[in-house]
Structure 1
């Protein structure tokens, strides 16, 4: 018995005294596993998700409105029909909420050209249309800005010379591309006056180089996703027929 105990203690001592070798990573290998429609579907999984897919497609394909024409964000240089619809819908749907909460009104809307992710095809407008146009989860925010900061917003629009969606604001450029006139509700912008500007949370935080929203007096979160704004607008509008107008133009002479 003593011999066995001695042998066990000796083995433990030897193991404890052994110096462990330091492990070191010398190489990482990766294997490319291609995924394509050539892969066979699992029948059990397909049967399981089939009712959910059918329900989702039924919801997405439900008709909300009708479009007279096909509208894309490439159908104008400084303003587009789809961009105008986008900005006007934000103003129309969000202002009543903002007014009810604050007693004030939104003066202008500004969003980014790249935020419109798809077109509106001629014919039925469905729930899927709204998801294709706005696949992101961005929400509307309203920012209190002095006129001097709004002028920086105007400078941005003039310098970018792109059809960023706007509403409530009108810009006229001379033939060389310089600013000739800027107005809100038909009135010149006053440096000391407070204006309420609707945009989305991504742009408010500096997206697309829009750093003119900060600093500001106050930011109001509308808790209203832009996609839901579009859905609500389509539901209440039987037929849409937006146009390219004079809200942002360049004179030829």
Structure 2
């Protein structure tokens, strides 16, 4: 009994005598490792990713179509061959989807010049070409807007003095940049009519100061990326032949 009491006392004394030491950070050391061509690759990692890398490169460089000339967004004042192609492609690829879901046709397409991020160079058009032209993840949306909003869009185009891509639209302006004629599918704009306008989600939400898409009767997200529309179009044609035409002109 005395032995047990003695052991308990010894343990209590040991516990009381022990205390947790407080550790304080006194110094941090490090060194800079520059990432450059001189930094040797990890060969095991390089060997592991090589098959995937080669597959991606081969896919991106696979030929989809052919361009007989080089098409740039700067080759034209109020409409360009590449801009016309872009808008026409969106109409051709998106309209069947929209009509199957709603029973309506798209009335016209309106995009922005700044959305064309690279030219289409003469020669083979590849998957890489599509990603270079449209590197963003923008999707096609269709806004149902009244004719007065359409007229606001025409005023925007006339005052922007830029070759924003349009399709199924004809716009003529004078030397003062006032609208002389505005037609949708060959007909004058009716302010009370509802028009179905295809654009992208960035512009629909006010990008490039395009505020005329709101208010609207409704909006339809087709869940179809502009880039994918281009890829689908390139896949089904052999040779592209876009041209500058009279869809947006200035009369002097």
* TM-score tier after normalising by the smaller chain length: 0.7 to 0.9
Paired position in structure 2 for 1:5: 12
Alignment match, 2:158:
158
3-state SS of 1:142 partner: strand
Which residue of structure 2 lines up, in the alignment, with residue 126 of structure 1?
Answer: 126
**Secondary structure of 1:239 counterpart:** coil
Query: What CA distance in whole angstroms lies between the structure 1 residues aligned with 2:142 and 2:78?
Result: 23
Instruction: Pick closer, same or farther for the CA change 1:34–1:86 going to 2, 3 Å.
Output: farther
Change (3 A) 1:181 1:124: same
Indicate the SS of the match to 1:129. Answer: helix
Q: What are the residue-to-residue correspondences of 1:161-240 with 2, within 5 Å?
A: 161-240=161-240
Q: Which moved more, 1:81-90 or 1:2-11?
A: 2-11
User: Between Structure 1 and Structure 2, how many residues are aligned?
Assistant: 242
Sort the Cα spacing of 1:42 and 1:69 in 2 relative to 1 into closer, same or farther, 3 A: same
Aligned to 1:27: none
Q: Kindly state the Cα deviation for residue 4 of structure 1 after the two structures are TM-superposed.
A: 6.0
Q: Which residue of 2 aligns with 1:74?
A: 74
TM-score using structure 2 length = 0.88
Deviation at 1:34, TM superposition (A): 4.5
Cα root mean square deviation, aligned: 2.4
Q: Tell me how far 1:89 sits from its aligned partner.
A: 0.3
Alignment-derived partner of residue 111 in structure 2: 111
Identify unmatched segments of 5+ residues in structure 1: 24-29
CA distance in 1, matches of 2:189, 2:197: 13
Judged with a 3 Å threshold, the aligned counterparts in structure 2 of structure 1 residues 125 and 159 are, in CA distance, closer, same or farther, namely same
Provide, for residues 138-165 of structure 1, a one-character-per-residue CA deviation record: whole Å limited to 9, x for no partner.
1111110000111111121112111111
Shift of 1:7: 7.0
CA–CA distance in 2 between the matches of 1:162 and 1:60?
31
C-alpha separation between the residues in 2 aligned to 1:79 and 1:180?
A: 17
The superposition leaves residues 192-211 of structure 1 with CA deviations (integer Å, 9 ceiling, x where unpaired) of 01100001111111112212
Tell me the distance in 2 between the aligned counterparts of 1:68 and 1:140. 28
Instruction: State how far apart, in whole Å, the 2-side matches of 1:75 and 1:192 are.
Output: 36
Going from structure 1 to structure 2, the CA distance change for 1:41 and 1:172 (only over 3 Å counts) comes to: same
Unaligned runs of 5+ in 2: 1-6, 25-29
**Equivalent pair of 2:155/2:178 in contact (CA under 8 Å):** no
Describe the superposition over 1:122-141 as per-residue Cα deviations: whole angstroms up to 9, x where unpaired.
11111111111111111111
Per-residue CA shift, 1:165-193, capped at 9, x if unaligned?
A: 11111111102222211111111111101
Q: Distance in 1 between matches of 2:231 and 2:54?
A: 21
TM-score, length-scaled by structure 1: 0.87
